[in-house]
C-alpha cells in the first residue's frame, strides 16, 4: 500500500514525531511505501510531493515544526480543488492519506472522506480545541512555555509594582490561558468562553496591589469584553474564514492603566508558543497517535481520527470530531476563581 502524509494548519511541536512513527511502523511492520505532501493541502492541490522513507525521518523526533511544511490551504476554496487532489493521489499511486491537522485541516479531511477518499486523521494543535480527544499534542509544550513566561513576569512585575498582562494563543478556546494561568499562579485568567467585565478585572488588580503584590493577568487572544467587541489585529481572513487575532492584551493594559491610574504593560507570547522542541509528553502522545493512525490505515478503518481517551488511544469518527470545537467547560473555569484578585 502507498500512503501519503500531510501536516496542515498552524504548526505545533510534535508534528515530526507523528511523521516519524507513521513511517517507521508503516515501513517496518506493514511494508507500506510513503510520500509526503508539501505544505498541507496545498501540496495535494499543486502536486508538490516529496519522497518519505525511514532515512528521511531519522533524527526528527525532538525537532519542532514539520519537515513537510504547513499552510492554511483549503482545497474547497480552489476551482476544481477536489478533482486536483484526486489527480495528485492517482499520479503517485497513493491509496490512503494520514492527515495531521487541527479543526480546519481535519474539516477538509472529513469532507474528502465523505467524497470517498481513504484517510485517517491525527489531531494536532497547541490550542487543544479538537473535539473527541482529551488532549492534542503541542498543547503541553505551549503550556510549558507560557508557564515559564508567567513565572518570569511575576518577578519583574513585583520589582516595579505594575500589572503585567500576558496574552496567549487560543482563538476559540481558553485551554492554554487556563492551564498556564493556573500553573503560573495568575491573578486573573480571561478566556473566550466567558466574556469579561473590565471593571471586575480592575477590581481584582486593585485588590492585588492592596496586599502589596503585582497582578498578573493572563488573557487568551480570543477573549472578549462583555461591553465591547473582539480586538483584532486586522480584518483579513484566511481560506477558512479566520481573522488574525492579537491585540486584546494591549487594549486591556491600556484600560487597566486608565481606569485604575496604575502602570500596566503587555507581553504577547505569540508564535513562541508554537516553536521549538516538543515536551516529553507531546513526543509520547504524538508517537502513539502515529502508531495507531498507521494501524487504522492497515485495517482500512478510514474516516476516523485517532484520539486520547484517558490513557488509551481510540478511534472516533472524523465527522464527530470536526462538528464542533472543544471549549473549556465553565464549571472547570469557575473552580479557579478563588485565586482571582
Ligand atoms: O490554530 C493555532 C493557532 O496557534 C491559534 O492559536 C492562533 O490564533 C493561530 O494559530 C495563529 O495563526 P498564524 O500562524 O496564521 O498566525
CATH of the domain at 199: 3.40.50.460
| pLDDT of amino acid 238 | 87
306's grid cell: 485517532
Q: Are 50 and 29 within one domain?
A: yes
Reference 213, options 260, 159, 148; nearest CA is 159
d(CA 321, CA 304): 9
Strand partners, 220: 168
Are residues 136 and 128 in contact, defined by beta-carbon separation less than 8 angstroms?
A: yes
Q: Which residue has a Cα nearest atom 9 of ligand 1?
A: 10
**pLDDT-based confidence at 240, cuts 50/70/90?**
confident
HSE-up (13 A, CA, CB side) for residue 109 = 35
Residue 147 Cβ inside 6 Å of ligand 1? The answer reads no
Active-site annotation holder among 127, 140, 282, 295 = 127
**CA 103 and chain centroid, separation:** 9
pLDDT at 141 over 80: yes
249's grid cell: 492584551
Predicted TM-score (pTM) of this structure:
0.96
- Please check whether residue 235 lies inside any domain of the structure: yes
- Please check whether residue 231 lies inside any domain of the structure: yes
Domain with 144, as residue range(s), is 140-275
Q: Where are the alpha helices (DSSP H) in the chain?
A: 15-28, 41-46, 81-91, 103-114, 139-160, 175-183, 198-210, 248-260, 280-298, 318-322, 330-335
Reference 173, options 16, 327, 341, 338; nearest CA is 327
| pLDDT of amino acid 242 | 84
Three-class SS state of 245 = strand
- Please check whether residue 330 lies inside any domain of the structure: no
pLDDT at 202 over 80: yes
Q: Are 242 and 301 within one domain?
A: no
Reference 340, options 228, 149, 202; nearest CA is 202
How many domains in the chain? 2
Taken in order 72, 290, 328, 187, is the CA torsion positive or negative? negative
127 carries an active-site annotation: yes
d(CA 286, CA 308): 10
Q: Are 101 and 159 within one domain?
A: no
Q: Are 181 and 110 within one domain?
A: no
- Please check whether residue 59 lies inside any domain of the structure: yes
51's grid cell: 519522497
| pLDDT of amino acid 103 | 96
Are residues 223 and 169 in contact, defined by beta-carbon separation less than 8 angstroms?
A: no
CB atoms within 10 A of CB 281: 16
- Please check whether residue 109 lies inside any domain of the structure: yes
- If phi over 0 gives left and psi between -120 and 50 gives alpha, with beta otherwise, what is residue 50? beta
pLDDT at 45 over 80: yes
pLDDT at 65 over 80: yes
- Please check whether residue 286 lies inside any domain of the structure: yes
| pLDDT of amino acid 241 | 82
User: What does the pLDDT look like over 226-236, one tens digit per residue?
Assistant: 987 777 767 67
- Please check whether residue 188 lies inside any domain of the structure: yes
Q: Are 95 and 168 within one domain?
A: no
Residue 245 Cβ inside 6 Å of ligand 1? The answer reads yes
Q: Are 39 and 164 within one domain?
A: no
Q: Are 81 and 51 within one domain?
A: yes
Q: Are 284 and 208 within one domain?
A: no
Q: Please indicate whether residue 232 or residue 286 has the higher confidence score (pLDDT).
A: 286
Q: Are 249 and 312 within one domain?
A: no
d(CA 42, CA 243): 20
Residue 120 Cβ inside 6 Å of ligand 1? The answer reads no
Q: Which residue has a Cα nearest atom 13 of ligand 1?
A: 10
| pLDDT of amino acid 245 | 74
| pLDDT of amino acid 12 | 97
Q: Given ligand 1 and candidates 169, 274, 327, which is best to mutate, with the most ligand atoms within 8 Å of its CB?
A: 169
Question: What CATH number should be reported for the domain holding residue 127?
Answer: 3.40.50.450
What percent of the chain lies above the pLDDT cut of 70?
99
- Please check whether residue 229 lies inside any domain of the structure: yes
Q: Are 25 and 90 within one domain?
A: yes
Q: Are 122 and 159 within one domain?
A: no
Q: Are 116 and 148 within one domain?
A: no
Mean pLDDT of the chain, nearest integer = 96
316's grid cell: 472516533
Greatest Cα-to-Cα distance within the chain, rounded to the nearest angstrom = 69
d(CA 257, CA 301): 56
d(CA 327, CA 336): 16
Amino acid at each position: 500500500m502507498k500512503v501519503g502524509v500531510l501536516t496542515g494548519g498552524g504548526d505545533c511541536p510534535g508534528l515530526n514525531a507523528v511523521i516519524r512513527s507513521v513511517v517507521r511502523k508503516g515501513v517496518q511492520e506493514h511494508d507500506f511505501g510513503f510520500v509526503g505532501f508539501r505544505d498541507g493541502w496545498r501540496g495535494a492541490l499543486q502536486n508538490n510531493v516529496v519522497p518519505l522513507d525511514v532515512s528521511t525521518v531519522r533524527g526528527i523526533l525532538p525537532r519542532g515544526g514539520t519537515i513537510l511544511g504547513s499552510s492554511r490551504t483549503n482545497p474547497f476554496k480552489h476551482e476544481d480543488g477536489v478533482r486536483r487532489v484526486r489527480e495528485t493521489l492517482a499520479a503517485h499511486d497513493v491509496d490512503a492519506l494520514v492527515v495531521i491537522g487541527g479543526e480546519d485541516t481535519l474539516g477538509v479531511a472529513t469532507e474528502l472522506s465523505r467524497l470517498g477518499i481513504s484517510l485517517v486523521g491525527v489531531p494536532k494543535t497547541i490550542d487543544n480545541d479538537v473535539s473527541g480527544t482529551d488532549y492534542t499534542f503541542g498543547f503541553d509544550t505551549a503550556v510549558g512555555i507560557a508557564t515559564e513566561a508567567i513565572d518570569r513576569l511575576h518577578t519583574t512585575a513585583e520589582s516595579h509594582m505594575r500589572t503585567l498582562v500576558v496574552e496567549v494563543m487560543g482563538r476559540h478556546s481558553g485551554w492554554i490561558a487556563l492551564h498556564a494561568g493556573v500553573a503560573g499562579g495568575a491573578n486573573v485568567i480571561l478566556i473566550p468562553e466567558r466574556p469579561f467585565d473590565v471593571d471586575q478585572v480592575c477590581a481584582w488588580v486593585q485588590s492585588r496591589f492592596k496586599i502589596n503584590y503585582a497582578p498578573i493577568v493572563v488573557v487568551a487572544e480570543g477573549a472578549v469584553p462583555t461591553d465591547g467587541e473582539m480586538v483584532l489585529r486586522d480584518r483579513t481572513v484566511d481560506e477558512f474564514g479566520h481573522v488574525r487575532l492579537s491585540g486584546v492584551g494591549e487594549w486591556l493594559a491600556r484600560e487597566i492603566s486608565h481606569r485604575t491610574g496604575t502602570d500596566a504593560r503587555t507581553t504577547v507570547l505569540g508564535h513562541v508558543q508554537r516553536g521549538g522542541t516538543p515536551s516529553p509528553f507531546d513526543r509520547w502522545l504524538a508517537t502513539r497517535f502515529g502508531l495507531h493512525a498507521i494501524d487504522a490505515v492497515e485495517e482500512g478503518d478510514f474516516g476516523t481520527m485517532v484520539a486520547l481517551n484517558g490513557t488509551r488511544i481510540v478511534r472516533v469518527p472524523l465527522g464527530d470530531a470536526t462538528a464542533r470545537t472543544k471549549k473549556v467547560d465553565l464549571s472547570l473555569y469557575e473552580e479557579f476563581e478563588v485565586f482571582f484578585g
